[in-house]
Chain A
């Protein structure tokens, strides 16, 4: 088995596990958001392996950076609303 193939298989398994953690995780919403961000981060590595570096850049900046920030931001707002 070649190295890129082994790496993409490993990435795919990790992405599936993280996606299940993001959707079915019961522990806390923060961990779910972090695992959703990690799925995008691993997806950007996958795009790099598939020879699409420009898509990988967009995915890393928007998918794992801005989206994770947005989710945490909204989560903070919702929590603060609960306390009031």
Chain B
């Protein structure tokens, strides 16, 4: 009883704090100094139309590298933990006894899979112009792989190809970062390539290149997790 009362009191307290915060909140009339600096300087310094992307890839590119590393570690750990059941799976796989996927799912997958892959590639190559970028594009590509796995769980994906894409784009990402130190202002500086015309696909220096590699890397990492999960189905 006392436990329940304490819980209700705790919830009411948290609610009161948030209500106070909400009621006291006044939207800023103008940007603060940091935001103002980014808003004024991003377009002319970096040539990117999408300020969010420019900040994520260049000003705070080290954060992105850290996030990609965390994701890589997660994928590696998932692969390591799930790799044990793989040998048994090979034997069980000789006689698949799964029910066939429905007509709707099969036809829908055949129709939508190329479109989703294309949209994922569009999102990460246009990261400097439109909302989205490497992470979003990679997640969309991984959801295409998920759809393929849903319609045919016995489908095989080459682990070697996935890890090749993953490691190549990781190395390329870090190499571009180091090239930024050597040729331009600092790590992951995008001005190693010409900035080009503002708003074009091939503009904003190295941002589209970096985001293509990030997108491939994230997509490969998520896909490897999904593929390992589905392969251990009959552990």
Contacts and interface: CB of A to CB of B under 8 A. Distances in A.
Interface stretch (B16-24, B105-113, B142-150, B172-180): B142-150
B132 A57 contact: yes
Interface in A46-73: 53-54, 57-58, 61-62, 65-66, 69-70, 73
A77 interface: yes
Interface of B: 52-53, 123, 131-133, 135-136, 139-140, 142-143, 146, 150, 222, 226, 229-230, 233, 235
A54 B133 contact: yes
Given A58-B139, A61-B140, A77-B233, A69 B150 contact: yes
Contacts of B143: 61, 65-66
Most chain B CB neighbours (cut-off 10 Å) among A61, A62, A73: A61
Interface in A7-65: 53-54, 57-58, 61-62, 65
Contacts of A61: 136, 139-140, 142-143
A53 B140 contact: no
B131 A54 contact: yes
B146 A57 contact: no
A13 to B, nearest CB: 16
Nearest to A70: B229
Contacts of A69: 146, 150, 226
A24 to B, nearest CB: 14
Contacts of A65: 139, 143, 146
A69 B135 CA distance: 19
22 contacts: A53-B131, A53-B132, A54-B131, A54-B133, A57-B123, A57-B132, A57-B136, A57-B139, A58-B135, A61-B136, A61-B139, A61-B142, A61-B143, A62-B139, A65-B139, A65-B143, A65-B146, A66-B139, A69-B146, A69-B150, A69-B226, A77-B233
